[in-house]
Amino acid sequence: MPIAIEEARSLWQPEGIYLNTASYGLPPRPAWDALQAALGDWRAGRTSWEHWGDATEAARAHFARLCGVPVEWIAVGGSVSTLVGLIAASIPDGARVVSTDVEFTSLLWPFLAQGRSVEVRCVPVARLAQAIDACTDVVAFSAVQSSTGELADLDAVAAAAAHHGALTVVDATHACGWLPFDGRGFDVFISAAYKWLMSPRGTAFMGVRPGLLERLTPHAAGWYAGDDPHSSYYGPPLRLASTARRLDASPAWFSWVGTAPAIEVVLQIGVDAVHEHDLRLANLFRAGLGLEPGDSAIVSADVPGAEERLRRSAVMAAARAGRLRTSWHVYNTEEDVERVLDLLGLSRASARRSPRASAGG
C-alpha cells in the first residue's frame, strides 16, 4: 500500500532537526519496533533464531526491487569494504583502476591494498567518464559523494566503461533510498543500508551480474553461502549457491530484522517521491544560502562555525573538509529549512520566494 510522505512522516520521531542522514539515517517506526521485539525475545530466550534469518531474505528481495534487478543478483554482507574486497581480490595482477580523488575509503582502499602491481588512478568526479580508456580494467566510484553530495554522471561512465570493456563497480550507498538507481547498468553495485535506507548499521548489499560470478572467489564462504543454508552446517563437499548468495556473509540477525521493514517503508513511499521531496528541501536550503539549485539531497556549503551553532540549537548536521554538510531526507520539512536558515541568520522568505528553489537539475 503506497504511503504519502505527509502520512509517512509520523513514522519518525526525531528530537530537534536531524540533517545528518549522510552519516546515519533514522529508523522508521516499523523497523524500530521489529528490532525491539527481536531484542526482547533474545533477552528472554523465548524463541528460536530461524525467523530472524528470514528478515535477511526479505531485505534482499526489497533491495533487489529497489534497484530493479533479479533477487538472484544480490549478495548480503556487513559492510561495503568487505564486499568490495571480494571484487578487488578478483582483479588480475597489473590491473588498472580508475576512481575519483574524493572517493570514500571503503570503496577505494580495497583496491589500493591489493599490491600485486595493481595501479589506481584518481581523477575529479566530473572527469571520470573521460578518464576511462583502453587501458582501464576497473572503474570504481560512488554514485553520490558523501562529503560533497556531487553526483557522478552514471550514464556517461557506464557508456565509457562499456566502450572500453572496463568493469564498473559502483558504491550506491549515498544513492539508494533517495535517488532512483538502476542496478542493471553496472557490473557490480554495493550499498550499505544504514544511511539513506535508514537501517541499523551492519547490513550491506552487493549486486553482481551473473556472468561475473564465476570470476569471484567467495573468500568468506560459510553456511549462509550454501545452496541450502540450513543443510550446510557441517562437512564437505563444498555446496555453494549458484546465485550471488554464494558471496553472502553470515547475517548479524538483529541488524537485518531492522533492515527489512526500513527498506519496505522506502518502497511504500516510492523512491521517486522521496527524490522529489529531498531535492525540493535541499534546493530551498540552497536558495536561502544564495546558491544555485543542485541535483543532490546533500548540501555542502562554506558556513564557518555553522555545525557548532546548529548543534547548540538541537540541529544535527556535520562538517566535512571544513564545510557545513546537511543531508535532507524524508523526515525533514519546509519548516526545518526555515528554522535552520533562521539560526544561520539568513532570510527564510528568500528561500520561499526564489524561483530557483524548486529546480531539481
Where is the domain boundary, 266, 284, 307?
A: 266
Where is the domain boundary, 217, 234, 266?
A: 266
297 contacts 178 by C-beta, under 8 angstroms: yes
> Rounded to whole angstroms, how far apart are CA atoms 13 and 172?
26
In a shared domain, residues 107 and 245: yes
In a shared domain, residues 69 and 157: yes
Each residue's pLDDT tens digit, 232-249: 999 999 999 999 999 999
- b/e code 58-77 from CB counts within 10 Å (16+ = b): bbbebbbebbebebebbbbb
Residue at 288 is within a domain: yes
Where is the domain boundary, 218, 247, 266?
A: 266
Residue at 360 is within a domain: no
Residue at 39 is within a domain: yes
**Residue 273, CB half-sphere, CA atoms under 13 Å: how many?**
16
In a shared domain, residues 248 and 321: no
Residue at 358 is within a domain: no
Residue at 302 is within a domain: yes
The total number of residues shown for the chain amounts to 361
> Rounded to whole angstroms, how far apart are CA atoms 214 and 283?
44
Other Cβ atoms within 10 Å of 51 Cβ, number: 12
In a shared domain, residues 141 and 61: yes
In a shared domain, residues 220 and 205: yes
In a shared domain, residues 73 and 44: yes
In a shared domain, residues 167 and 312: no
Each residue's pLDDT tens digit, 24-76: 999 999 999 999 999 999 999 999 999 999 999 999 999 999 999 999 999 99
Dihedral pair phi/psi, residue 232, rounded to 5°: -120, 25
In a shared domain, residues 139 and 157: yes
Rounding to the nearest 10 degrees, give the CA dihedral for residues 264, 270, 272, 275.
Answer: -60
In a shared domain, residues 45 and 164: yes
In a shared domain, residues 161 and 296: no
What is the reported pTM? 0.93
Structural domains in the chain (count): 2
In a shared domain, residues 145 and 78: yes
Domain that holds residue 326: 5-28+270-347
**DSSP state letter for 248:** P
Each residue's pLDDT tens digit, 188-241: 999 999 999 999 999 999 999 999 999 999 999 999 999 999 999 999 999 999
Residue at 96 is within a domain: yes
Q: Which residues pair with 351 in a beta bridge?
A: none
In a shared domain, residues 114 and 224: yes
Each residue's pLDDT tens digit, 145-179: 999 999 999 999 999 999 999 999 999 999 999 99
